[in-house]
Amino acid sequence: MASWEHVFTDLAENRGRALLRYAYLLTGDAAEAADLVQEALLRAFGRTTRGLTLESAEAYVRRAILTVHIDGRRRSGRWTRVRHLLAAREDVSGPESVVVDGADLRSALATLSPRQRACVVLHYYEDLSVAQVAEVLGCGPGAVKRYLSDARSRLEPLLSDSREGLR
């Protein structure tokens, strides 16, 4: 077995769940998240990978996930087809508040642009600073702040029970 296969297997077995969760938050769709992770793994390991470690491979795959996600041209068709399904979940009801919250949040996230959504996931879920998000996305900190501000204005109503909800 080539060394890239060891890293590949290690990454898939030990970090596969985390990568899928990351992709799922970016896409909001389970099947699309799986596609995204597989595409990113293919891109990362399809190149020559001399000296690739588990850590560097995961960083590479995460970046590829983000790149593919934001590549609107490639995914716009599929997104258009499923968007109404994600955004029109007003009929969700039930006693489990987590389910309701999840549906609301999923719907709200679905209204964000890919970059806005990426900023939310990177900043609030991956705990990256604004400067780090800017570096990952290849834009300036000011743009990230603007994306986050716009996203917050859409998400804030969901979290109105706590002024600290978006902190």
User: Which residues lie near other proteins (CB under 8 A)?
Assistant: 2-5, 8-9, 12-13, 16-17, 20-25, 30-31, 33-34, 37-39, 41-43, 45-50, 52, 73-74, 98, 101-102, 105-106, 109, 120-121, 124-125, 127, 155, 158-159, 161-162, 164-167
Question: How far apart are the C-alpha atoms of 64 and 35, rounded to whole Å?
Answer: 12
Q: How far is the CB of 125 from other proteins (least distance, A)?
A: 4
Q: How far is the CB of 48 from other proteins (least distance, A)?
A: 5
Nearer CB in complex with other proteins: 4/79: 4
Nearer CB in complex with other proteins: 55/101: 101
Closest CA to 156 of 147, 165, 143, 148: 165
Structure tokens at 151: 């996203």
Phi then psi for residue 28, to 5 deg, are 75, 10
**Which class for 15: exposed (0-12), middle (13-18), buried (19 or more C-beta within 10 A)?**
middle
Q: How far is the CB of 77 from other proteins (least distance, A)?
A: 10
Nearer CB in complex with other proteins: 38/113: 38
Question: How far apart are the C-alpha atoms of 139 and 133, rounded to whole Å?
Answer: 8
Closest CA to 89 of 109, 69, 75: 109
Nearer CB in complex with other proteins: 143/166: 166
